[in-house]
C-alpha cells in the first residue's frame, strides 16, 4: 500500500510539473525583437575617429553630442558604392567626420499586450559622409537590404 501511495504522489508531481511547464509555454508573452529605422528621413551627425589599439573589431567612429563630448560608438552600415569610414587609412585619431543616414533602434513588441520597448543601438545606414580633408562620399542607395556592416564593438571607455 505504501508503494502505491508513493507512486500516486510521484505521478501527481510529474503531472503537476508538466501542466505548469505547459502553462508557462502557453502564457509566456510572445515577443518580436527587430531592428527598425527610426525615421524615413535621413539624419546628419558628427563623429570622431578614434583608433583604439588592441582590438580590430572596435568601431573607430564615436558620436559627438551637442556639447562636443565624445559618446557612444557608431555602427555604420555602408552602401556598396561608398567606402566604410572605419576602414579609411587617410583618417587619423581625432579627425571629425559628418555622417548622414538612417538611424536604427531595437524594438521589442509584446504580441499579447501590444507593449513596445525601444532602445537606441547607434546603427546607421550611411548614405553620405565627409571628412575634414574635403573628401565627400555619397550613395544613391536607400534600400536597407543594400547596406552591409562589419561586426564592430563599442570599445570607448
Pair type for strands 116-131 and 75-79: parallel
Contacts of 75 (CB under 8 A, 6+ apart): 59, 121, 122, 123, 124, 149, 152, 154
Query: C-alpha angle 80/45/82, rounded to 5°?
Result: 15
Is the pLDDT at 78 greater than 80, yes or no?
Answer: yes
Residue with cell string 510529474: 14
What pTM did the predictor assign?
0.72
- Calculate mean pLDDT across residues 112-134: 89
157: pLDDT confidence band, cut at 50, 70 and 90?
A: low
Give the integer Cα–Cα distance in Å for 60 and 49: 5
Q: Which of the residue ranges 41-50, 56-65, 107-116, 137-146 has the most confident prediction, judged by mean pLDDT?
A: 41-50
Share of the chain above pLDDT 90, in %: 19
The full set of domain ranges for the chain reads: 31-149
Given a contact cutoff of 8 angstroms between Cβ atoms, the answer to whether 143 and 68 are in contact is: no
Amino acid at each position: 500500500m505504501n508503494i502505491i501511495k508513493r507512486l500516486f504522489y510521484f505521478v501527481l508531481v510529474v503531472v503537476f510539473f508538466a501542466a505548469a511547464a505547459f502553462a508557462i509555454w502557453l502564457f509566456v508573452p510572445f515577443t518580436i525583437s527587430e531592428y527598425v529605422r527610426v525615421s524615413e528621413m535621413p539624419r546628419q551627425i558628427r563623429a570622431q575617429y578614434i583608433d583604439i589599439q588592441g582590438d580590430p573589431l572596435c568601431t573607430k567612429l564615436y558620436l559627438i553630442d551637442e556639447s562636443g563630448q565624445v559618446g557612444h560608438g557608431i555602427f555604420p552600415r555602408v552602401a556598396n558604392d561608398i567606402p566604410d569610414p572605419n576602414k579609411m587609412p587617410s583618417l587619423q585619431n581625432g579627425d571629425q567626420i559628418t555622417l548622414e543616414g538612417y538611424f536604427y533602434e531595437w524594438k521589442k513588441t509584446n504580441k499579447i499586450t501590444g507593449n513596445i520597448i525601444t532602445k537606441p543601438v547607434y546603427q546607421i545606414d550611411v548614405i553620405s559622409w565627409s571628412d575634414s580633408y574635403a573628401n565627400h562620399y555619397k550613395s544613391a542607395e536607400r534600400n536597407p537590404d543594400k547596406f552591409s556592416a562589419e561586426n564592430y564593438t563599442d570599445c570607448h571607455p
